[in-house]
Structure formats: C-alpha cells, structure tokens
Structure 1
Amino acid sequence: MYFGTTVDEQRAFAVLDRFVEAGGTFIDTANTYSFWVPGGTGVESEELLGRWLASRGVRDDVVLATKVGALPDPPGAAWPEHAEGLSHEVVRAQATASMRRLGTDHLDVYYAHIEDRRTSLHDTVTTFASLVTDGLVRVVGCSNHAAWRVAAAREIAKASGLPGFTCVQQRHTYLRPQPGAEFGANPHISDEMLDYARTEPDLTVLGYSVLLSGAYTRSDRPLPEQYDHEDSRRRLAVLADVAAELGATPNQVVLAWLLGGDPPVLPVLGVSSVAQLDECLDALTLALDDEQRRRLNTAPTPL
C-alpha cells in the first residue's frame, strides 16, 4: 500500500525481492495507493511495482492484483462521497491505466475496490465480466462489499453465464470490533460474509489490515479505537499464551489462525521491511492444534 510513498523504492524493492526469493507469487495493489499521504496521488504503488517487475523480469512468475473504484474524483475531493465509482467508463479506463503503470498487458485479479450504489449491480457485473472475456483480466473480485451484494453479484453473473466475482477482500483480523464500530467505506468482515463463503467453494476470502499496523506486538502502536474494548483484552491474553506455547510471535499466531480457519482466509501482508516480511513468512510453518484454535476462538467471555 505504501510502496512509493512512505516506503521508498530501495526498501520496497528489497521486500519484493525477498518475497519472490521465498516463493511468494501474489502481489496486491490498487490505483489509489496512497492518495491520502501528503503529496500522494494514488499512482505511486502501481508505478513502483511496474518498475520492479520490469527490472526483475518476473511478470510471468507472479499473480498481479489491483483495484478500481475508490480513487477520489476529482483529485482532492471529499472521500468516499466522491470516489470514482464502478461505471463502465471508469472501470475500463482505469484498467487500461493500471496496466500501463504496471507494464503488463493483463491483470490476474481485478477488484471492485469499494461499493458504488450509484451504478447498478448488473452493470458492474457485466463490465467486469467484459474485461475477462476480452482477455484483459483473468479473475475478478470485490473488496469492502456487504455479503448480500457479493451474493447478488454472483447470482447475476451465474444467471447470465458471465464470469463473476470469485474472490472477496475484506478487513479482517483476530480481534473483533466493538459493536457498532464504524469503519466507513472499509468495513470489518461480517459473520454473514464468512458464513456465505463457507457455502461457496469457488469464493476465496482475503483479509487486509490483519496485523492492525503492528498493534499486536508494538507498544508504540495502540489498538485502533474500533478494537479497543474489553473483548480485545481477553483475546489478546489468550493470543499471548498460545504464542508463548509455540515460541512464536502474536503476529505469526494471527496469520496461522486466519490461514487455518473456516473458511480459510488468505492474509494480504502490508510490510515495510524485510524483517517484518520474514516474521510473517515464518507463520507458514506454524501449526495450531485443535485445542489452541478452540481457545483462540472461544476466548473467555464475561459472566
């Protein structure tokens, strides 16, 4: 997310090099990263990735994902009220612009980044499907959408014989937000979405902000206010116990918990150093037994 803005090119290239060296193949960006950083416009991450892909010659070795729909229009306008949306014109034009910045003739995954209820869901589905049938996109998905919208979009595609959304990327982590917590256009994943995904074997769930910007392990990173409540303190205590038993970090346990969950959730890692990446990669060899997973899932609740 911050490659090309708060993470400079040298550090970003080092992280990316280490990722592919370790066997990593899936790289996720957006046409908005990171417009909110002072001086940022949203093109920085895609442009940096384009330079890295060209310099390393690894385009054919990676799964490349980007997103459309959340860029402020015009630049600097209030967000998300003035997000670009998911009209046919915007989606097609931005797909072309993203491919140009990334230096590729196709996108492996293309996401509808946030909801656009100004555009009919039918039109959004047919537009994204057209990118697949035209050979510009391999797989389409959505992010920050309500479960019923995802289900409805997939039904529209199925009924029309069109390629539909086969992945959904939502905010997700081990801690649960307090009831009524507000995340704006970037909601925490709902129980309804997870329940829906359990019944849809062709739907992959991905999670972002899974490590809460370092709040699980860094004293200088307080919990986001949406997670700062008593339930979190109970879950953090269990998380610390399980991490100690396994000789792992809380971050690694959170990642293992997501990967082995029902449904499994593929974490989208946001790291700014090789050391952070290596910590995350070590979670791939971490196995939670049934008892540890039960304790994490059923952290003590108040009487």
Structure 2
Amino acid sequence: MAQHAPVRIGSSELEIVPLALGGNVFGWTADREGSFEVLDAFLAGGGDFIDTADGYSHWVPGNTGGESETIIGQWLAARGGRDDVVIATKVSTHPEFSGLAADNVRAAADASLARLGTDRIDLYYAHYDDAETPLEETVAAFSALVDAGKARAIGVSNYTAERVAEWIGIARAGGYHLPVALQPHYNLVERDFETNGLREVAEREGLAVFPYYSLAKGFLAGKYRDAADATAPGASDRAAGAAEYLDARGRRVLAALDAAAAAHGTEVATVALAWLRQQPVVAAPIASARTTAQLPALLASVDLELSAAELAALGAASA
C-alpha cells in the first residue's frame, strides 16, 4: 500500500487509512494464531482501523461472545502499539449484555475494555436498535461514556434513517455528544443504502459511513461463480449466502468487475472495495480476512482509483 492520506471519521479527531479490517472472523473461522498473523500483516501493510463487536462470535458452538475482542486484546498486549490502531467495537448482541438500556451499555463497555485490555474504545457503536429502551436513555448513556473517557466517538449500526435522525435530534436537544459514524449493509449488490434515507442523513449530518458485508459474503471477491463453488470442499461458512447472488444481475456485476480488474491488473475484490470506497459519504469499507493470503487484495483497494466511466459501468451492471 502506498502512503494514503488519512480519512477523518466524521467530526471526530480520529483519522484512519480508508479500510477497516473486520474482526468477525477472529475466534470463528480464524483461530488465535491465525488472527494474530492477519492483524500483524494488516498493520504491516499500512492498515490501522479494526472493527469488531462484543457479540463476535457467540453463534459458534462452544463460544460465549467476546472472543474477537479477547483475541484483539491479546494481540495488543503481545505487540504493544495501542496508539497505532483505531479500534471500533459495538454493544447489544453479547448474550450477557443484550440491548441498549443505560446500565447495560455501561456494563458492556467496561467488559469490552477489559477484553481489549485498553482504557478507551475509539469508536463505540450501538450495534442494533433497541425498541424496548427509550432512545433518550441510550443517547445519554453513550454520551456519558465519552464524558468518562471510555469512548472517544459514537457510531450507530443497523438503524433506520428515521431513528438515526431521531438520535441526532435527541442529542442536540439534550446537549449530548453527537454520533460521527454510521455502519450500514451496503455493497455493489446491496444498494438499498442509496435510497432508504440513510445516505441522505449521513450527507446531511456529516456521518462517516463504514459499510459491512462489503464483499457480499465473498461473492464480490469473485470466489463463487457457480452454485458448485459454494458447496465445494474448503468453501467458507458464508458461501451459501454468497451463492444467492448468482443470478443474471450477479453475473453482470462479476463481468464488470472482471473487466475493471483486468484493466488495472488487480483482483476482483480490490475493485469491489474501491468502488465502495469511492461512493458518496463512504469513509471506508469493512472487509475481513481469514488468512494473510486474502489481505493483499483488500489493502490494494486503498490506492485503486477507478475512473468515472468504470464507476458508472459497475453501477449500471448492479442496477
């Protein structure tokens, strides 16, 4: 990766290289040793932004939640250099810390800090909206974490545009810290973000957008080109989800990605991530790597600048 100009996360003081390493695989499809190798290689390749959640990966048999944070914390303890990375984590899906009531947000944040072995969470997200808790209670709880120095900035994930706007309105009226980041589901084959009001609210409020499933469970890496690929030996746990995109539109998208990748002498995944990074309000895509072999294509996306014609061709293919 060349030296890329850092991107500021909304109105915060946080700056990052525009690629987030997804931590959902740590403690799931990547064990502790493999996770350490991926984290080392990501940092060595110029990356500095790590995205995780307290719930990762409670869905794995034998796991209880917090595995990803624990591995990241152990890596930080072994390597040092806490100031060299920006860490985002989330609250609401850990089995012991479900929802966004104020007491739960406080307790979950302390538990995350302990697992990460750090004194502050750089970017702390409300992972999923909690309709059972008054939004004002949640907004105040997150703001209090910033006042206490436990979180440096606030983000929201998986909220509707209306609820994001409501959060911001409550924060302004109450004098609370405003959110600076938004994490939606968005990629070249999942484009509701452009029309469901979330992009509009992000533009209006200056929110930095960090899309998850940036590679559509591996489909946009070009790994799955027929149904058999998803059931082949060695296929990932997410292969079945990726195979769902193998319709006429999906094949058009792959053809457009292939053309751009060939023109730049790069990987299909690199092009898909570069397209996403160059969309309005997107600060950085989130992508995970189970092995170090998957990292170069992700890191290369930071420096790939697609032309207006290439962006348009990809957009048309996925329309």
Scaled by the length of structure 1, the TM-score of the pair is 0.87
Partner Cα separation in structure 2 for residue 92 and residue 231 of structure 1: 45
- Shift of the alpha carbon at 1:147? 1.1
Aligned length: 281
Partner Cα separation in structure 2 for residue 278 and residue 111 of structure 1: 28
| Among 129, 143, 161, the residue aligned to 2:175 | 161
- Aligned partner of 2:148 in structure 1 is 134
- Shift of the alpha carbon at 1:155? 1.4
- Relative to 1, partners in 2 of residues 1:268 and 1:300: Cα closer, same or farther, differing over 3 Å? closer
Structure 1 SS opposite 2:183: strand
- Shift of the alpha carbon at 1:128? 0.4
Unaligned runs of 5+ in 1: 74-82, 178-187
Partner Cα separation in structure 2 for residue 59 and residue 218 of structure 1: 34
- Aligned partner of 1:255 in structure 2 is 273
- Relative to 1, partners in 2 of residues 1:5 and 1:225: Cα closer, same or farther, differing over 3 Å? closer
State the one-letter code of the partner of 2:126.
A
- Aligned partner of 1:290 in structure 2 is 308
State the one-letter code of the partner of 1:147.
A
- Relative to 1, partners in 2 of residues 1:96 and 1:195: Cα closer, same or farther, differing over 3 Å? same
Structure 1 SS opposite 2:198: helix
- Relative to 1, partners in 2 of residues 1:96 and 1:300: Cα closer, same or farther, differing over 3 Å? closer
- Aligned partner of 1:208 in structure 2 is 212
Q: Are the aligned partners of 2:256 and 2:313 in contact in 1 as well (CA < 8 Å)?
A: yes
Unaligned runs of 5+ in 2: 1-23, 231-238
Structure 2 SS opposite 1:262: coil
Structure 2 SS opposite 1:253: helix
Structure 1 SS opposite 2:129: coil
- Relative to 1, partners in 2 of residues 1:198 and 1:270: Cα closer, same or farther, differing over 3 Å? same
1:238-249 correspondence runs (5 A)? 238-249=256-267
- Shift of the alpha carbon at 1:59? 1.1
- Shift of the alpha carbon at 1:263? 2.2
Q: Are the aligned partners of 1:140 and 1:165 in contact in 2 as well (CA < 8 Å)?
A: yes
Structure 1 SS opposite 2:146: helix
Question: Relative contact order: is structure 1 or structure 2 higher (C-alpha 8 Å, sep ≥ 6)?
Answer: 2
Partner Cα separation in structure 2 for residue 156 and residue 39 of structure 1: 40
Query: What percentage of residue pairs aligned between the two structures are identical?
Result: 41
State the one-letter code of the partner of 2:278.
G
| Among 79, 82, 88, the residue aligned to 2:102 | 88
| Among 119, 124, 131, the residue aligned to 1:105 | 119
- Shift of the alpha carbon at 1:249? 1.7
- Relative to 1, partners in 2 of residues 1:176 and 1:67: Cα closer, same or farther, differing over 3 Å? closer
- Aligned partner of 2:198 in structure 1 is 193
- Aligned partner of 2:298 in structure 1 is 280
- Shift of the alpha carbon at 1:225? 6.4
| Among 15, 35, 49, the residue aligned to 2:38 | 15
Return 111-120 or 260-269, whichever deviates more. Answer: 260-269
Runs of 4+ in 1 over 4 A off after TM superposition: none
- Relative to 1, partners in 2 of residues 1:226 and 1:166: Cα closer, same or farther, differing over 3 Å? farther
- Aligned partner of 1:115 in structure 2 is 129
- Aligned partner of 2:29 in structure 1 is 6
Partner Cα separation in structure 1 for residue 187 and residue 92 of structure 2: 24
State the one-letter code of the partner of 1:35.
H
1:145 paired with 2:159, answer yes
Partner Cα separation in structure 2 for residue 121 and residue 236 of structure 1: 41
1:24 paired with 2:47, answer yes
State the one-letter code of the partner of 2:173.
A
| Among 217, 221, 233, the residue aligned to 2:251 | 233
Scaled by the length of structure 2, the TM-score of the pair is 0.83
Partner Cα separation in structure 1 for residue 53 and residue 316 of structure 2: 35
Structure 2 SS opposite 1:189: helix
Alpha-carbon displacement from aligned partner over 1:107-165 (angstroms, at most 9, x marks no partner):
11111011100001111111100100111110011111111111110111112221021
- Shift of the alpha carbon at 1:196? 2.1
Structure 2 SS opposite 1:67: strand
Q: Are the aligned partners of 2:65 and 2:95 in contact in 1 as well (CA < 8 Å)?
A: no
State the one-letter code of the partner of 1:242.
A
Structure 1 SS opposite 2:28: coil
- Aligned partner of 1:181 in structure 2 is none
